[in-house]
Amino acid sequence: MAQAAPVAGLKEDVRDFWNADPCGSRYLGDCADFEAHARARYQLEPHIHDFAGFARSRGQRVLEVGTGMGADYLEWLKAGAVASGVDISSISLERAKRRCEMAGYAPDLRVSDAERLPFPENTFDIVYSYGVMHHSPDTQQCIREAWRVLKPGGALRIMIYHHASLTGFMLWLRYGWLHGKSMRQAVHDHLESPGTKSYTQQEASAMLQGFDQIEFRQVFSPGDLLLNEPSPRFQGLAYRIVWRLYPRFLVRKFGAKLGLFLLISARKPASR
């Protein structure tokens, strides 16, 4: 089973991690080069536009939970959605706000905990959260909050990390097997912020109580394919060789069920 979450101080550790290293910062280059950041994001993860459905959101009330530096959030605004966004990282939100203002938009962005959203129930047509809820100590509570603020008939679109994955296996090889850690524990301790969780499809289904029309899609992450730029932890010669020689063709051909990203679409039932 996925890790049970609540740990004293973990939420503060998660916030501090993303304040120190906002998601995607390594692709930002110049602190205002948001176009380069978006280009890198969508080249590495080309499925995002279709999954999010930006182009189909004109006039809809959208909540993005975990905006990060605002690449996706700006896409909602550009598409004509009435979009709000929350993030636990004030530094990330400052960059998201600047990004939107530079593009000529007035964002509605708030520092907030995904487990306690600052909105009334039945507010949004879409709740979107990409790669965020698995970082919260209580992922299921995040999903409950999404259900609460969705209008009847509203759409949930989230990405959470899948178990087992190639990324998890690589982290286990690096940090786990010689130290008696499971793959999940290696992910928990070493994939991005402290306490990161991963879920099987069955475990994810159990957290989606109250939703219907549930659909799952599994895709590779840049980390599964080592397409992403290595973080500062992986800059040695041995890592550079691994990045260069990694058999991406074979991974794509034979490892489809080991992708890290679990894309989930669901609906809050319409009122009867």
Using CA atoms, how far residue 78 sits from 54, 104, 109, 223, 262, in Å, is 9, 10, 15, 29, 26
Give me the pLDDT at residue 85, please. Answer: 98
Residue 177 falls within a domain, yes or no? no
Distance CA 62, CA 43 (A): 24
| Per-residue pLDDT tens over the stretch 105-146 | 999 999 999 999 999 999 999 999 999 999 999 999 999 999
- Give the pLDDT score at 12: 87
Task: Give the strand order in the sheet containing 261-267.
Answer: 108-111, 82-87, 61-65, 124-130, 150-161, 261-267, 212-219
Q: Distance (Å, rounded) from C-alpha 178 to C-alpha 175?
A: 7
CA–CA separation, 89 and 143 (whole Å) = 19
The predicted-structure confidence for 162-190, as pLDDT tens digits, reads as follows 999 999 999 999 999 989 999 999 999 99
Say which CATH number the domain at 60 has.
3.40.50.150
- The structural domain count of the chain equals 1
Is 132 inside a domain boundary?
Answer: yes
Q: Is residue 131 part of a domain?
A: yes
- Walk along the chain (272 residues) and give the pLDDT tens digit of each residue: 444 445 558 888 888 877 887 765 555 555 568 998 899 999 999 999 999 999 999 999 999 999 999 999 999 999 999 999 999 999 999 999 999 999 999 999 999 999 999 999 999 999 999 999 999 999 999 999 999 999 999 999 999 999 999 999 999 999 999 899 999 999 999 998 999 999 999 999 999 999 999 999 999 999 999 998 777 777 888 888 889 999 999 999 999 899 999 999 999 999 75
Rounded Cα gap, residues 85 and 69, in angstroms: 11
Is 47 domain-assigned? Answer: yes
The pLDDT score that the predictor gives to residue 30 is 52
pLDDT at 23: 65
Q: Mean pLDDT over all residues of the chain?
A: 91
Is residue 62 in a domain? yes
Structural domain includes residue 197: yes
Q: Is 75 inside any structural domain?
A: yes
Range of the domain at 156: 10-164+192-220+258-267
Residue 185 forms part of a structural domain:
no
CB neighbour burial string for 150-185, b if at least 16 within 10 angstroms, e if fewer: bbeebbbbbbbbbbbbbbbbbbbeebbeeeebebbb
